Amino acid sequence: MSDRMETSTLGAPIDRVDGRLKVTGGARYALELPVTNVAYAVIVTSSIAKGRVSSMDTAAAERAKGVLAVLTPFNAPKVDVPPPRGKGMRIPTVLQSTEVHYNGQPIALVVADSFEAAMEGAHLVSARYATDRPVLDMASAPTIPPEEVHPLFGEERVVARGDVKRGLSEAAVRVEHVYGTPLENHNPMEVHNTVAAWEGDKLTLYDSTQGIFSVRDTVAQAFGLKPGDVRLVSYFTGGGFGSKGGAWSHQILAAMAARVVKRPVKLALTRRQMFGPSGGRAMTVQRISLGATRDGALTAIRHASTSNTSTIEDWIEPATSQTRMLYACPNVETTYDLKRLNVGSPTFMRAPGESTGTYALESAMDELAYELGIDPVQLRLKNHADRDPELDKPWSSKSLRECYRIGAEAFGWSKRQMAPRSMRDGRWLVGWGMATATYPAVRQPAGATARMTADGAVVVRAGTQEIGCGTYTAMSQIAADVLGIPVERVRFELGDTDMPATPPSVGSMTAASTGSAVHDAATALKAKLAAMSNAGESPADAIKRAGGQPVEVTVQSQAGPDALQFSMHSFGAVFTEVRVDEELGLVRVPRVVTAHAVGTILNEKTARSQIIGGVVWGIGMALTEETQIDPRTGRYVNAQLDEYLVPVNADVGKIDVHFVDEHDPHVSATGAKGVGEIGITGAAASIANAVFHATGKRLRELPLRVDRVMA
Ligand code: MOS
């Protein structure tokens, strides 16, 4: 096969294959796809958090120049969505009722010839309300009786092994503390947006999404269509972080509006509308009790998490899941409780559960280390779980010891003095902290096609999404690696429900799921080409000799039964240096060292970017990010990027990323485990632990704001 190059591209830190398109503006995001005769829709939101819309005045808006339609709960077409507190996955608020559940809920949609006219029309809509007193305070809100909770994923409220009471009472040392994390909201660069176009009874949506098939199915259901009658297209998504995993209100509203005005409709949320109608991170109050022997062996862990949901859905922030598997401990009990607040429904947000949960657990482990006078890394090594203690299964692979070793070495951890306030640099107190990182490795069934044309070029297709992680690039590398051709000879196409189905880009599962399908498709193509080639003949020549028709294969790929024998997780360790100015309450993060074991690295550069992104978010989670709600009205007070404080360049110091050499054949065909979410896990705890080491102050409520550091 003369046109083969012997270079294996898997793992190589090549630039993104779509990088040039992105920086030149050639990458087309949903709103940029060409659609003719398009109308524009703008959402009007409620200014109360609880009650009813009693009447609306839409006359002025309807008279305004360019306005085509004003949809409200009083005139909107009926669609098939689950009722509030139904047992569905997600309950869109799409003008089906006058009931208001949160401040910022869509209560009208203005459709016009131009975006400006739609904005103007939206300003002219006014609403009267019958206002109830909203429930907004986590401390005073009643806990929902457990029997009335309908968990979206069937989560068990109490999960226990051993005897936690006894484990705690017999412990030589106990720590018990409560940790709090605030509401947060996703702020991807690209706001949610969609374009809806009907052709008869068939609907096409160009959508900014992490899950083309999940959005398709929800929208099809809403309009009583077969999934095949809805086509979802999404070539590029400007970040999602969990908020774009499924449909929210706007896709259904856009399709509804397009049907009413009989034209394609574009709809984008404003930045402010990203707070409320499209999910966010739940607030948590987490009580952790740890019991240990004098020499640091855990005898008991109890982790009770209370989080908020909305009055629409029963979303449970799964903050306790890592607590059941991370450390070898015979007696463990985790529970959750829910409270209803009049806020938008929470949802998945980067490492949902593990980000909030590792903050609490890894802070408590640090507190235990100080109680015992044991180095925090040593305490974790002492309790290293050699097999999954929850499922009682072997790990498919686990290199956590290596992560601690490599991270500690790169950081210089051995020079750390245990005592708080032991390091200073002028007016800055210096602190070093660490935490364990963990996230599940998940593979779901996925399909892909691979085709070679007579010129030797290969096109691989899979219905996945590019949400910024580097999917175009990594998938191209997998196919090139299997086929033994340069990556430039592969074109990977994604983002269309006409392609083979793959899972949504959530749960860090794309590398293992879609990656395996691409691997298997390339393998099948290679075999088919080999079977039709004569000795010494290149695949392209074989295709030409056979008549020049492209050779194509389609595969469905899923984990084999042996996968069930194993527990599959990624692991890592985060080491952080902070500097604290006590007089000004400032915390700076000059240096973070990470070491992660995430299976085979598909592209060292994009993988590194994922970890950096996660750590940056960890800095925001630890120090600045929180959604503030007006306690009287439920209005999202800081619903814009100048007041919702995500880290900027000046907030981020050096992030030194290390990967442990690991290959996990049980998780995926390439050995990759996925790297999208683990980077944020442990990061906030590592920072908070460093702040304790710097100051001797244990702050248990995030974010570590100036006022809290000074208090
Ligand atoms: Mo991730 S929060 O599952 O997009």
- Annotation says 677 is catalytic: yes
Answer whether 348 contacts ligand 1 (Cβ < 6 A).
yes
Any idea what the Cα angle at residue 54 is, between residues 49 and 56, rounded to 5°? 100
585 pLDDT more than 70: yes
Q: Can you give the pLDDT at residue 154?
A: 81
401-429: average pLDDT: 98
What pLDDT, on a 0 to 100 scale, did the predictor assign at position 88?
Answer: 58
Residue 83: the pLDDT is 80
Q: Per-residue pLDDT for 550 more than 60?
A: yes
The three-class DSSP label of residue 632 is coil
Average pLDDT over residues 101-118: 98
Is residue 500 within 8 Å of residue 447, measured between CB atoms? yes
User: Which is the closest atom of ligand 1 to the Cα of 243?
Assistant: 4
Over 60: is that where the pLDDT of 382 sits?
yes
Read off the pLDDT band of 82 (50, 70, 90).
Answer: confident
Mean pLDDT over 671-689 rounds to 98
Q: How confident is the model at residue 87 (pLDDT cuts 50, 70, 90)?
A: low
Stretch 415-436: mean pLDDT: 98
Q: Report whether residue 515 contacts ligand 1, using a CB cutoff of 6 Å.
A: no
What does the pLDDT read at residue 89? 66
Query: Angle of helix 604-623 relative to helix 354-372, nearest 10 degrees?
Result: 70
Q: Concatenated DSSP letters for 641-683?
A: TTTS----GGG--EEEEEE-----TTT-SSSB---SSGGGTTH
Type and span of the H or E element at 258: helix 249-261
Q: Which of 240, 345, 351 is nearest to 283 (CA)?
A: 345
* Distance from residue 316's CA to the centre of ligand 1 (Å): 14
DSSP-derived secondary structure for 523-583: HHHHHHHHHHPPTT--HHHHHHHTTS--EEEEEEE---GGGGGSB-EEEEEEEEEEEEETT
pLDDT tens for each residue of 121-167: 999 999 999 999 999 999 999 999 999 998 888 889 999 999 999 99
d(CA 587, CA 579): 6
The string of DSSP letters for 591-628 reads EEEEEEE-BS-SBHHHHHHHHHHHHHHHHHHHHT----
- Stated pTM of the model: 0.97
Task: Please classify residue 293 by burial: count the beta carbons closer than 10 Å to its beta carbon, then call 0-12 exposed, 13-18 middle and 19+ buried.
Answer: middle
pLDDT of residue 6: 40
Confidence bin at 1 (pLDDT 50/70/90): very low
Band of residue 8 on the pLDDT scale cut at 50, 70, 90? low
pLDDT, average across residues 282-304? 98
- What's the pLDDT band for 5 if we cut at 50, 70, 90? very low
Segment 266-295 shows an average pLDDT of 97
CA of 474 to the centre of ligand 1 (A): 19
Residue 9: the pLDDT is 84
Residue 55: strand pairing partners: 128
Active-site entry in 170, 488, 677, 701: 677
Condensed to tens digits (0 to 9), the pLDDT of residues 556-568 reads: 999 999 899 999 9
Residue 276, ligand 1, Cβ within 6 A? no
Structure-block tokens of residue 185 = 């909201």
Residue 439 Cβ < 6 Å to ligand 1: no
The pLDDT of 69-84, averaged and rounded, is 94
Atom nearest to 677 CA in ligand 1: 1
**pLDDT single digits (tens) 505-537:** 999 999 999 999 999 999 999 999 999 999 999
Mean pLDDT value of segment 676-700: 98
Instruction: For a ligand 1 pocket test, name from 677, 678, 681 the mutation site with the most ligand atoms within 8 angstroms of its C-beta.
Output: 677
Does 346 contact ligand 1 (Cβ within 6 A)?
no
What is the C-alpha to C-alpha distance for residues 490 and 304, in angstroms, rounded to an integer? 49
Confidence of residue 243 (pLDDT cuts 50, 70, 90): very high
Ligand 1 site, residue 245, Cβ cutoff 6 A: yes
In terms of Cα–Cα distance, which of 403, 402, 398, 377 is closest to 387? 398
Q: DSSP 3-state assignment of 288?
A: strand
Angle at CA of residue 599, ends 488 and 394, nearest 5°? 150
What's the mean per-residue pLDDT of the chain?
96
Centroid of ligand 1 to alpha carbon of 187 (angstroms): 13
The CA–CA distances, whole Å, from 40 to 68, 247, 591 equal 9, 19, 46
Distance (Å, rounded) from C-alpha 482 to C-alpha 475? Answer: 11
Taking the CA of residue 348 as reference, the ligand 1 atom at the shortest distance is 2
- Residue 145 tokens read as 């009786």
Express as a percent the part of the chain with pLDDT over 90: 96
Under DSSP, is residue 380 helix (H, G, I), strand (E, B) or coil?
A: helix
d(CA 452, CA 336): 52
pLDDT-above-70 percentage for the chain: 98
403: pLDDT strictly greater than 80? yes
For position 559, what pLDDT does the model report? 95
Minimal CA–CA distance to 518: which of 459, 468, 466, 573? 459
242 alpha carbon – ligand 1 mean position (Å): 4
Answer whether 433 contacts ligand 1 (Cβ < 6 A).
no
Give the Å distance between the CA of 505 and the centre of ligand 1: 7
pLDDT at 85: 77
**Stretch among 42-51, 148-157, 228-237 having the lowest mean pLDDT:** 148-157
Instruction: Work out which ligand 1 atom sits closest to the CA atom of 349.
Output: 2
Going through 113-170 in order, the beta strands assigned E by DSSP cover 126-131, 158-161
575 closest CA partner among 435, 439, 377: 435
Mean pLDDT of 466-473: 97
pLDDT grade, residue 2 (50/70/90)? very low
Give the pLDDT band (50/70/90) at residue 4: very low
Ligand 1 contact via 506 beta carbon (within 6 Å): yes
- Distance (Å) from CA 709 to ligand 1 centroid: 31
The residue ranges of DSSP E strands in 46-188, in sequence order, are: 51-57, 67-71, 99-100, 106-112, 126-131, 158-161, 173-181
Question: Pairing state of beta strands 654-659 and 586-597?
Answer: parallel
106 Cβ closer than 6 Å to some ligand 1 atom = no
- Whether 242 is in the pocket of ligand 1, judged by its Cβ within 6 Å, is yes
Closest ligand 1 atom to residue 506 Cα is: 3
State the DSSP code for 100: E
Nearest to 563 by CA among 326, 325, 394, 446: 394
Distance 190 CA to ligand 1 centre (A): 16
The residue whose CA has the least distance to atom 4 of ligand 1 is: 242
